[in-house]
Amino acid sequence: MPRPSHRGKILTEGLKVVHERGFAGASVRDIVQAAGVPQGSFTNHFASKEAFGLEVLDLYFSNNRHILGDTLYNEALAPLARLDAYMDANRARICQNETRNGCLLGNFALEASEHSEPIRHRLVEIFAEVQTALEYCLTAAVAAGNLPKDFECSEVASFMIASLQGAILLAKVQRSPEPLVRLKRLLFAKILR
């Protein structure tokens, strides 16, 4: 009888450990302990901690894709309402742990992209996918007449990603969602008017 695979459990529990402690701060021992599996299970499923980190990023982002679908790609909502919902969803997500953990994508960008070219490359791809979703929504807002015809959708989408990641980082440090509240207020009052 084959032994059960612990891969999924290592990934889901490991994601929580890495999000809470950081990629460098989460040892393989911490990860397998949280998953309740023997340490050898980790090396059976992952060639390295870097390979594990890449899969954790994909797992985290697969959850975030649902947010993109429910907000920025949600044709049932008006385009600016989609952007409003997207900002609210990000604030709700980081408030789940009193803003202590921040965004795993931003955390990896700060911590692991300097030491791992595959992780850095994957982050570039993920942020490009988020930018595409933001551009799609902004373009829909232009088409609906909510934004001027010459609105620079690509530039603003890029700005929004950078601003959102910065606001999440400040929220993490300040232990307050206020930087995200301020970003949303300024975004809608000054840029998306």
Q: Tokens standing for 59?
A: 């797992």
Give the whole-angstrom CA distance, residue 121 versus residue 130. Answer: 15
Of 119, 139, 99, nearest to 53 (Cα)? 119
Neighbours of 17 (CB within 10 A): 21
Average of per-residue pLDDT across 159-166: 97
State whether the Cα torsion 161-162-164-169 is positive or negative. positive
Angle of helix 104-111 versus helix 153-174 axis, rounded to 10: 90
Which range among 39-48, 50-59, 148-157, 171-180 shows the weakest confidence by mean pLDDT? 39-48
Indicate whether 102 pLDDT > 80.
Answer: yes
Give the whole-angstrom CA distance, residue 79 versus residue 25. Answer: 40
Residue 20 has, within 13 A of its CA and on its CB side, a CA count of: 13
Indicate whether 1 pLDDT > 60.
Answer: no
Which pLDDT belongs to residue 165? Answer: 96
What lies within 8 Å, CB to CB, of 59 at 6+ separation is 11, 12, 15
Indicate whether 4 pLDDT > 70.
Answer: no
The predicted model scores a pTM of: 0.92
Which residue ranges form the domains of the chain, and what is each CATH number? 1-46 (1.10.10.60), 50-191 (1.10.357.10)
Indicate whether 113 pLDDT > 90.
Answer: no
DSSP 41-93: HHHHH-SSHHHHHHHHHHHHHHHHHHHHHHTTT-TTS-HHHHHHHHHHHHHHH
Average of per-residue pLDDT across 156-172: 97
Confidence of residue 115 (pLDDT cuts 50, 70, 90): confident
- Residue pair 110/192 in contact (Cβ under 8 Å)? The answer is no
pLDDT per residue over 18-73, tens digit each?
999 999 999 999 999 999 999 888 999 999 999 999 999 999 999 899 999 999 99
| Chain mean pLDDT for the chain | 94
pLDDT per residue over 116-132, tens digit each?
999 999 999 999 999 99
